[in-house]
């Protein structure tokens, strides 16, 4: 069964600076996830373009797009075209690594490792076309979110009842959970919980979650 378009984005694609929605707009949005996880522009970034992105990242502007996203620019910002110069002016140091790998199932796969003020994060995502993305891993832990909704990203100790407890906080704000993924390396290790929500949490609720003794870090990402 075909699905009806849910809005202008679905019918026309994103309002964006070209030339390619998958190689430009999607790359900006993956990088913006990194920007928000770090709480701002990183001081240094190591960027791996896989497969199709590896072969065309200069010609299709993916190099400028990823730096633009890391600096917090949106997909329709005309400064994307000048992102290489802007990154140099703002002191963003970066390295590009194009890789051809059969282990990556999607041709437009991007991995970004970035650091800011002593904090480091690694994000892997795919650009699905039309500006749509899927974030597939954070710090090596599996996830599966689109960046289209407010998203709560929690790294916490793997304790019993943690998901139910956080879900109850979200419910108390009268917010519906659209998707939830939980991943861990081992039992009682750090677990990654990612909640895509129809609406954002109250600031007080986020602060409360961040102060829980078993929560290592909690970030609320806006739609990117």
Where are the domains positioned within the chain?
8-139, 151-221
Distance CA 129, CA 109 (A): 12
* Tens digit of each residue's pLDDT, the chain (224 residues): 333 333 433 333 454 455 455 568 999 999 999 999 999 999 999 999 987 787 766 656 789 999 999 999 999 999 999 999 999 999 999 999 988 876 677 778 999 999 999 999 999 999 988 889 999 999 999 999 999 999 999 999 999 999 999 999 999 999 999 999 999 988 888 999 999 999 999 999 999 999 999 999 999 999 99
Cα-Cα-Cα-Cα dihedral of 86, 138, 213, 173, to 10°?
Answer: 80
Distance CA 158, CA 94 (A): 34
Distance CA 60, CA 27 (A): 11
**Burial track 130-168 (b if 16+ CB lie within 10 A, e otherwise):** bbbbbbbbbbebebebbbebbbbbbbbebeeebbeebee
* Single pTM value for the model: 0.87
In this structure, are residues 133 and 30 in contact, taking their beta carbons and an 8 Å threshold? Answer: yes
Regarding the domain with residue range 8-139, which homologous superfamily does it belong to in the CATH classification? D-3-phosphoglycerate dehydrogenase; domain 3 (3.30.1330.90)
Q: Is 8-139's fold the same as 151-221's?
A: no
Considering only CA atoms, which of 75, 84, 94 is closest in space to residue 33? 75
Fold of 151-221: Alpha-Beta Plaits (3.30.70)
Class of residue 169 by CB neighbours under 10 A (exposed 0-12, middle 13-18, buried 19+): middle
Considering only CA atoms, which of 199, 223, 195, 222 is closest in space to residue 209? 195
Considering only CA atoms, which of 106, 88, 96, 104 is closest in space to residue 66? 96
| Torsion 111-116-79-76 (CA) sign | positive
């Amino acid at each position: 069964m075909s699905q009806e378009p849910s809005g202008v984005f679905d019918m026309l694609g994103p309002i964006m600076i070209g030339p390619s929605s998958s190689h430009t707009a999607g790359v900006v949005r993956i990088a913006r996830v990194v920007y928000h996880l770090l709480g701002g522009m990183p001081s240094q970034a190591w960027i791996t373009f896989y497969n199709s992105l590896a072969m065309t990242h200069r010609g299709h502007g993916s190099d400028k797009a990823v730096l633009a996203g890391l600096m917090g620019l949106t997909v329709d910002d005309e400064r994307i075209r000048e992102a290489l110069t802007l990154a140099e002016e703002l002191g963003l140091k970066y390295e590009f690594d194009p890789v051809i790998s059969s282990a990556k199932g999607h041709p437009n796969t991007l991995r970004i490792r970035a650091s800011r003020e002593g904090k480091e994060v690694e994000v892997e995502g795919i650009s699905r076309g039309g500006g749509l993305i899927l974030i597939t891993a954070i710090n090596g832990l599996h996830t599966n979110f689109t960046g289209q909704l407010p998203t709560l990203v929690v790294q916490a100790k793997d304790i019993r009842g943690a998901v139910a407890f956080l879900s109850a906080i979200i419910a108390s704000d009268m917010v519906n959970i659209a998707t939830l993924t939980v991943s861990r390396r081992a039992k009682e290790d750090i677990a990654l919980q990612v909640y895509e929500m129809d609406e954002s949490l109250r600031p007080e609720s986020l602060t409360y979650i961040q102060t829980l003794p078993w929560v290592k870090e909690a970030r609320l990402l806006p739609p990117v």
